[in-house]
Amino acid sequence: MTAPSHTAPTFDDPSDRVVVDVWSDVICPFCHLGDTLLAQAIERSGRPVEVRYHSFQLMPELPQGPGRDVVEVLVETKGVSPEQAEAMNSQVAARAAAVGLDLRFDRALVANTRDAHRLLHLAREHGVQAEVAALLFRAYFTDGRDIGTHGVLADLAVEAGLDRDEVLLALAGDAHAEAVDADIAWARQLGISGVPFFVLDGKYAVSGAQPPELFDQALATAWDDKPR
């Protein structure tokens, strides 16, 4: 656990809760794992914690539109063999299974996540960002749904209580595109080069899907640092 190298004015440090700003991507297995470990730590703490999701794209070069087989994309972009890609996926899936996650890389369809991130910003406006983030992770990693298509994104949004027509209208245009770009620029300012990346109350940073006890420690430190 380290202090972030830069402090942005939009970080919050309220007295009644810890605010965790999370940079992640919905096709990042370690983001899904880290998000789950954080949620478990929050539950153990028994204290109020607000989680805010910020955009980060692992593969911004992917074309917009329908997703592709994950092994095929890894072979093409990472220069590994199909066997190596499958072995990598199996190792990650085994680690995730230890905390109760079912990662089905055999179903996963890799897509450009920019529209998914725009949806997350819309969801935040309606107070259901965490719910939509969880739905996106499940859709991609477990259900094999194509999060590169607006229809699927709208279906997931409806599950979280959003209006389908509003979501489709936002996705058809460029709604929240500036917010996505701002998050990515902020990550660059903070020196974030990989995700997940967690910042607690703008003071303490946790990089990666760390062991559970580190998340417990980070939350406890953030609480202890609040004025009495």
- Please write the tens of the pLDDT for every residue from 70-129: 999 999 999 999 999 999 999 999 999 999 999 999 999 999 999 999 999 999 999 999
The token duo for 23 is: 């940079």
Looking at beta carbons, which pairs linking 131-136 to residues 24 or more positions away fall under 8 Å? Answer: 131/159, 131/160, 131/161, 132/156, 132/157, 132/160, 132/162, 133/24, 133/26, 133/35, 133/53, 134/35, 135/159, 135/160, 136/26
How far apart, in whole angstroms, are the C-alpha atoms of residue 185 and residue 169?
26
Domains and CATH numbers, the chain: 18-224 (3.40.30.10)
Please write the tens of the pLDDT for every residue from 154-189: 999 999 999 999 999 999 999 999 999 999 999 999
Helix (H) or strand (E) holding 110: strand 109-110
Question: pLDDT at position 13, please?
Answer: 84
Q: What are 49-78's pLDDT values in tens digits?
A: 999 999 999 999 999 989 999 999 999 999
pLDDT of 3 reads: 47
SS3 content of the chain, % helix, strand, coil (to 5): 50, 10, 40
Backbone angle region of 127, left / alpha / beta, with phi > 0 → left and psi within -120 to 50 → alpha:
left
What kind and span of H or E run contains 84? helix 82-97
- Residue 198, pLDDT > 60, answer yes
* Residue, of 6 and 194, whose pLDDT is higher: 194
